[in-house]
Structures are given as C-alpha cells and as structure tokens.
Amino acid sequence: MCFYDLLTYEIIPQETPNVIRNCSKCKRDTEFYCSEKFRVNANQKMVDVWVVYNCIHCEGTWNYPIFSRVHVNKINSNLYQKFMNNDRETVWYYAFQFNHLRKLCNEVSTNIRYELREKRLETNSNNLTIKFYCKYDFDLRIDKVLAEILGVSRSTLKKLELEGILMLNPKISMKKKIFDNLQITLVGKGLDFNVFHY
C-alpha cells in the first residue's frame, strides 16, 4: 500500500454555463448555450462585440454584449484579434463571468460537468494536504468536491472537521465555493478514519 501526502487537483470545466432568458422566437424563458463565437460589428471606428448564445430549442440568438460602441483604438489589438479568431480561452473567460451574466439573464446554470485532474506527490509529511487549482469559478462547493475525492458523505466531512482532523486553509466554511489555491489538511493523513487508502 502506498500513502501520498500531497494531492493536487486541477478543476477543469468541460463546458460553459448555459443561461436562462427570454427567447423571442419561443416566446418564453428558455435555455441558451454559448456558441463559443464572437460577433464583431465595426461601424466606422466604433466597435460592438458580443458573444453569441443560441436557444437550445429553436437556435434563436441572444447576443451577450462585451463592448458596446467602443472606439477601435480603445480595444487592445491583441484582444481584438482574439475576438476575430473566436479564441476559445477568451470566449470562456466571458462565458464564466457569472456576476455579469446574472444581471443580463434570469439565471445562469452552475451545473457544469468538470474533470478533476489529480497529481499525487510525496513530501514526507505526517499530514495529507489537498490543494486545488481552478481557473474558472462556477460556484462549485468545497464539500461537494471533497466528498467526491474522499469518497465520503458531506456529514462525515463535517464530523472530521469538528474533530479537528480536517482543516481548511484559509479557514472558511466547507459550504463556500472552491477557489484557486485552496488547501485542505487531513491530520495524520486521515488514516484513523480509513478515508484515505490507496
């Protein structure tokens, strides 16, 4: 049997969030998916940029405004090129702006498929450390991911935390959303609790 004492997890979403809003063709609130394409409209020197969303029922379009009537000189030329090339990373950046999207839509779906890319390392520590890396924020709860990784229930996690076996750094509630560089320590590698065997 092998014991690791540092586990890192990169949280990689597999899709962009869908949004709920009124579809003018369906004449009701429906779900829209991100087409992963920009629409750029240049009128004289004034530029409009949108990310194009489509209704899942009728393919009707909703344009998510990124820039409205902005002088072309005010847009970084690198960024402008990314709009023109439908650069995936740039589209995703805007597609994960939950706060902004929530102002424009009725709802933004947080139910996103994701992959946990795991690395197991040995550091000769008496404790087990779990570290998270996530580039995109989509309201993923800490206890949900931890329960998945450790293969235990959320109530067991709570028990481990109350007993001082499981500690969050920074010290925040497990109900909060996961963020980049969050670290979890399991004292004594959690071995007494039989939660972490390989």
> Does 120 engage in binding with Zn ion (CB under 5 A)?
no
CB of 54 to Zn ion, least distance (A): 8
Task: Pick between residue 30 and residue 185 the one whose CB is nearest to Zn ion.
Answer: 30
For residues 125-163, one letter each, b for 16 or more C-beta atoms within 10 angstroms of the residue's C-beta and e for the rest, the string is: eeebbbbbbbebbbebbbbebbbebbebeeebbeebbee
- Please count the residues of this chain forming the interface with Zn ion, following the rule CB under 5 A: 8
Stretch that binds Zn ion, among 18-26, 84-92, 169-177, 181-189 (CB under 5 A): 18-26
Q: From residue 60 to residue 99, what is the string marking binding to Zn ion with x (rule CB under 5 A)?
A: x---------------------------------------
23 touches Zn ion by CB under 5 A = yes
Distance CA 104, CA 11 (A): 27
Per-residue interface string for the shown chain with Zn ion, residues 25-64, x marking contact by CB under 5 A: xx---x------------------------x-xx-x----
Q: Which is nearer to Zn ion, 27 or 113 (CB)?
A: 27
CB nearer to Zn ion: give 56 or 149: 56
Nearer Cβ to Zn ion, position 59 or 115?
59
Residue 1 CA neighbour count, 13 Å, CB half: 5
| Residue closer to Zn ion (CB basis): 18 or 30 | 30
In this chain, which stretch among 3-11, 22-30, 95-103, 107-115 interacts with Zn ion, using CB under 5 A? Answer: 22-30
How far apart CA 191 and CA 198 sit, in angstroms, is 11
Where on the chain is the footprint of Zn ion (CB under 5 A)? 23, 25-26, 30, 55, 57-58, 60
